[in-house]
Structure 1
């Protein structure tokens, strides 16, 4: 790959943006469709949790397979499953069918994300990981920016006939998922005729397949990266699934809810554009801990009966805080994991994410049924604050406050001055 050629990353970001836009349209639309089919808060939580149920068991086998092979086929399968799950959710006539197709959608999203993250890990040098993972997750934020607004407009568009309009939003999201399939060319380099030297050879393949999961999980940095990612994604997921319920309870229209969710995503994009300077100034561990702590306080604040403009300000600040967690947790896991099992480590991180996506919405549904629609956000606040506390204790300290990207400049500063230059200075 030519030095500085990052067109593969641009294509990957565009493909991820379309697939994430499809999912971000479908998740609130599924909630609205469930409400139209007669679901209560508990049922909405269960259906939101099923999205992550199949991925919970499939992540590690898919990661093992990705460690030993190419990633683009997994991206294509993921985009196709997202489209099928979205489209058939729109035709579901029962809550059980809606939950099942939501699970298919979740499996497709898992396939796409494992393949995409593995490509970034393979094609990024140590000094490029923070930047490339940050730019990669911009694709997710772009999808989260557009998807909820589009879903809100479609669901609100026809005199409140929520069953029909939510079905329309789900069918449109299936079409958006199909577009991502057109962006997958030339993301991975072609396989050479004799690739053992480039890909590590048979010995490395067998070694990468034999790294025990227990050993990966015992590596310092991997558990904290998984925990932070679980907490951040659970917060994003419950916001997406439960803000429509809060809106119905407080009389906020679906269009306004879509705008509020998109404000959060826009703030996450802004965060990732300035992430490298923040890492240089604060260090990776301090930035990760502070963002989780502040994010927890903001999540708890959403439970308060604030006006819409106050909720908008909190969601912007919350989006900025949550935008830190995902790319830095990816970098933490990739750097800590054994070299031959990075895709498996990323898959374990996604398993933690899916565990949170199964448990958090279901728990949120139970809490909301007992204590009201704002209670799940108090639960999220506790989860994020706990992740901040545990993460700072188990994450390896940064080798230096600056990112590795500054290493060449620092090396030039510390290098001995040539004799000729010394004579000139004298």
Structure 2
């Protein structure tokens, strides 16, 4: 099940990316051409939010200038055109991750997608108890004695919704721990994922550690237990060539704002046969077949989960972002980011007083590095780097349990993308090398 290319195994039909090409790519991103504190911006915070190329900005603007109307609701010209581009966007994004058209549900972000799933599972239990909906709902309902399994490295968005689902249903929440280096204890996973497990939810790539988790092995354990698999692809969909069908997960989520698209748009993927029987989470207009004063009947997916006026322009822009990444080449982007990530980690490891989280230099990771500076708080590190025009992320990165496990409260994180150069990384490393001296640590 080889779905993730790595620098060691990548077959590159196209030429590798280099600094010259990246400098041309940067011209597509107007926000990068500015000064911060009197110095050229070095943007290394794409793990939080990526920047937007002109083609994405123009796609959203063109929708408002030429096609703005409500979708699925009108017979006039603008409404028809708006609906066409909206649903064309769904097909484009489905193709981007290897899904079918009707398996892509628009959400505001990945967090909403995970909450949607959590509440849909809750509703499955209520519907099944009342004899409502498909008979297979009983298989999806969680009850006391059932278990939900996550990992100790999860982003809060892939932890708290499952905590709340356990609270609502009486199920137990368990987790696969990490070792002192932050790697999943896969030697324990086979015992934790067992006959009572109903849901296994885990991140594809950690937003703190940069590690790429063994999807095939985790899916295999879940299948052996008869559990559903939920994949957080927020840090993989923008950077790796994914085929969601080959991954064989039941559900997956990712956010547009991490893959060159605007904020306010995300995707929930689900296998068609599961989406069509899951009860909806949000209810209202545009997702029903028949409504009486006593009850409602619901459309199949994806409309079943898309109540109300949708994120039309944002979906159009997300499709433009997917096209931009596809045209550049996801394998090429991953290879380049891996090179930047290795340069980052090797450089950080060479600086006295720096502790880098996640895989060491030479081991496979995505293009980000979170680190601790001995004697200097992460927020001070971030402000110092900002004074040099370098944008990074500071804090616990919505992963408090992971930081607590590794004995930290906060770290500084640098994350690269297709528009970063080796010079960006070198400027960052030179600045980090001066942090402890500046603060007299």
Q: Above 0.5 in TM-score?
A: no
Greater helix share, structure number: 1
Q: TM-score, normalised by structure 2?
A: 0.27
| Structure of higher RCO (CA pairs closer than 8 Å, 6+ residues apart) | 1
